[in-house]
């Protein structure tokens, strides 16, 4: 899995999630190994809906909407990280860079998000049309929905008074994550590439060495874990200048981030430049 600083940085800065809740969710998920094996819960771009449901309601009861969104974010990043470090994508990224794997990994992650919507919106629809547990179970038994291994636990969850709000929030969280996960996934891959010893010196903005030159470590939050990127001072200043021009034209911070970022730059570097531009 990616380091928690990367989980937290991307959740907070790209997906607007509250850091304090995500910190608790990270701890809850990673110290709960039975619930966490990404290998088991997300297979070929599909998150087993029954496994997702049991984990999601526990999180929802304790942390509500933002907790649910942090949990999805965490697991999707773990999944992206797993794809980015093992097998053919791991090999491509380690040797050639993120450009060779980013599109495939992104589409796996978005496939997972679409799958959640497809699996859970039929159940929400039944409830919204006045149906209940009986109608849901009937749909399951007629094989029109996904199969359930533990019907008793499943029915107990459907009886919870918050079930309709939970389903609505789950689908809403998925839709909101679609707006930001591309940046988070890219960030995870970039960190993976640039923390290799032989590429550590490379400035991700101009792809030339920072050895013996003026550079800064970005972002600040990654420094304690030795994950920060080395960016030429000059390159960072240029990004900041571009960001300032766009902010002056009336673009907001997120729009500026997307506009300044050229294909495979680590989003965190650009985001820090936007923040710097905002301050000056």
Q: Which of residues 221-280 bind Zn ion (CB under 5 A)?
A: 232, 235
Residue 108 CB, nearest distance to Zn ion (Å)? 17
**According to the binding rule CB under 5 A, does residue 1 interact with Zn ion?**
yes
Quote the least distance from Cβ 257 to Zn ion, whole Å: 19
Q: How far is the CB of 242 from Zn ion (least distance, A)?
A: 14
Footprint on residues 73-112 left by Zn ion (CB under 5 A): 78
The interface region with Zn ion, picked from 105-113, 183-191, 204-212, 242-250 by CB under 5 A, is 204-212
**CA dihedral of 174, 176, 182, 184, whole degrees rounded to 10:** -90
Smallest gap from residue 122 Cβ to Zn ion (A)? 29
Residue 126 Cβ, how far from Zn ion at the closest point, in Å? 33
Scanning 106-114, 116-124, 203-211, 253-261 for contacts with Zn ion by CB under 5 A, the matching segment is 203-211
Rounded to a whole number of angstroms, the minimum distance from the CB of residue 235 to Zn ion is 3
How big is the site for Zn ion, counted in residues (CB under 5 A)?
Answer: 8
Considering only 86, 99, 164, 206, the residue that binds Zn ion (CB under 5 A) is: 206
User: How many whole angstroms separate alpha carbon 240 and alpha carbon 224?
Assistant: 24
What string marks each residue from 23 to 62 as x (binds Zn ion by CB under 5 A) or -? -------x--------------------------------
Phi-psi region of 117 (alpha: psi -120 to 50; beta: other; left: phi over 0): alpha
Choose the binding region for Zn ion from 1-9, 152-160, 185-193, 261-269 (rule: CB under 5 A).
1-9
Smaller CB separation from Zn ion, 30 or 182: 30
Q: Would you tell me which residues interact with Zn ion (CB under 5 A)?
A: 1, 30, 78, 203, 205-206, 232, 235
């Amino acid at each position: 899995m990616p380091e928690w600083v990367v989980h937290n940085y991307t959740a907070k800065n790209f997906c607007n999630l509250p850091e304090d809740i995500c910190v608790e969710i990270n701890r809850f998920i990673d110290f709960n190994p039975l619930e966490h094996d990404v290998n088991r819960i997300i297979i070929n771009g599909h998150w087993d809906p029954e496994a997702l449901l049991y984990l999601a309601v526990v999180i929802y009861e304790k942390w509500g909407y933002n907790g649910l969104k942090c949990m999805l974010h965490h697991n999707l990043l773990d999944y992206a990280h797993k794809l980015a470090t093992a097998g053919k994508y791991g090999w491509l990224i380690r040797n050639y860079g993120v450009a060779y794997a980013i599109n495939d990994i992104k589409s796996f992650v978005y496939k997972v998000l679409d799958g959640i919507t497809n699996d859970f919106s039929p159940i929400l629809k039944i409830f919204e049309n006045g149906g209940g547990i009986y109608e849901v179970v009937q749909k399951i038994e007629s094989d029109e929905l996904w199969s359930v291994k533990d019907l008793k636990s499943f029915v107990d969850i459907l009886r919870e008074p918050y079930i309709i709000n939970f389903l609505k929030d789950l689908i809403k969280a998925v839709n909101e994550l679609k707006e930001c996960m591309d940046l988070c996934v890219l960030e995870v891959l970039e960190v993976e590439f640039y923390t290799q010893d032989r590429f550590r010196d490379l400035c991700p903005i101009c792809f030339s060495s920072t050895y013996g030159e003026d550079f800064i470590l970005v972002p600040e939050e990654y420094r304690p874990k030795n994950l920060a990127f080395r960016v030429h001072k000059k390159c960072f200043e240029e990004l900041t200048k571009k960001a300032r021009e766009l902010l002056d034209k009336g673009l907001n911070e997120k729009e500026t981030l997307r506009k300044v970022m050229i294909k495979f730059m680590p989003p965190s570097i650009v985001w820090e430049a936007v923040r710097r531009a905002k301050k000056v």
